[in-house]
Amino acid sequence: MPVSCTTQCGRRAILRRPKTGTALCKECFFEAFETEVHHTITSGNLFQPEQVVAIAASGGKDSTVLAYIMKHLNDKYDYKLNLMLLSIDEGITGYRDDSLDTVKQNKEDYQLPLKILSYQDLYGWTMDKIVEEVGKKNNCTFCGVFRRQALERGAVMMGASCIATGHNADDIAETVLMNIMRGDIARLGRCCSSVTSSDGALPRVKPLKFCYEKEIVMYAYFRKLVYFSTECVFAPNAYRGHARTFLKDLERIRPSVIMDIIHSGENLMFQSGVKTPQQSTCVRCGHVSSQELCQACTLLTCLNEGRAKHGVSKKSHKIKTLREPV
């Protein structure tokens, strides 16, 4: 039997929201989803008028929805933001080369300027070559550290004053779980913030912080957005994969668990009182770093000296990143 839209708009419901369980028609789902993102942006003061915002665009569902919705809300609510797309080409054959075609399509569809920076140009290495050197165990450590710095460098080149990323509620809940399992309280605090900034680095903002992954997929599907859905050929990251599976199992039993974990992480953040490390600049590349040599330069040195496996040992430089931190 047909179900009516819960908003009583008179239309037929075509979906049940994973986040709230409410039955909605397509138009009311768009309205609810977009209003929530607008609320995240305004209540968290994520942007200022006239700001140049670099949207980290990978061609995947999250960044495609982010680019679409940022453009839509910027027009609808007159945020007065200057939006741009920024993509990083890690040099992964059969994955990034294809997904960059999607980003180029996004550029045309949304009429936003696009800049692409490659690991090859920035570091003299591609991920294909790095994997040949280090194998598939620690490759994501190199990729995450290099991507984080590459985004910063690209955004500075574009004249942006902040970087918007497509991290969603599931990503953040997974990271909370991972940081709890590692006992990393400092990262636990940072991963829950919708704006993360450190001295000298551009702020990173997460407008999709409260959006469930399932709803992002639904939104992209019903909006008919073009995105790239193939997984990286060097995935999966085993540790995050376990946290993801655990979270999905919990979500099946109790859908609110994703928001509950984020709120727990936020509360722990306020109670922990852990100070973030003092930031200065890397003596070699001049980018922001809490140590004399930044993580990217440390890893690059190890690669260039043929000591790449040593570069990710915890003893050497405490590099524990398994994916770009959210």
Binding site for ligand SF4 (CB under 6 A): 90, 127, 139-140, 143-144, 232, 234-235, 237, 323
Nearest-approach distance from CB 92 to ligand SF4, in angstroms? 6
Between 245 and 256, CB nearer to ligand SF4: 245
Provide CB contacts within 8 A for 149, sequence distance 6+. Answer: 122, 285, 287, 294, 295, 296
Between 150 and 232, CB nearer to ligand SF4: 232
Peptide bond between residue 18 and the one before it cis (omega within 30 degrees of 0): no
Between 76 and 136, CB nearer to ligand SF4: 136
Give the integer Cα–Cα distance in Å for 118 and 106: 19
Nearest-approach distance from CB 87 to ligand SF4, in angstroms? 12
Tokens of 285: 């590349």
Give the integer Cα–Cα distance in Å for 314 and 317: 6
Residue 265, φ and ψ in degrees, nearest 5:
-60, -40
Provide CB contacts within 8 A for 19, sequence distance 6+. Answer: 212, 215, 255, 258, 259
Nearest-approach distance from CB 190 to ligand SF4, in angstroms? 18
H runs (alpha helix) in 135-212: 139-158, 169-182, 185-192
Nearest-approach distance from CB 323 to ligand SF4, in angstroms? 5
Nearest-approach distance from CB 188 to ligand SF4, in angstroms? 21
Q: Are 153 and 287 in contact (CB under 8 A)?
A: yes
Between 233 and 274, CB nearer to ligand SF4: 233
Between 17 and 206, CB nearer to ligand SF4: 206
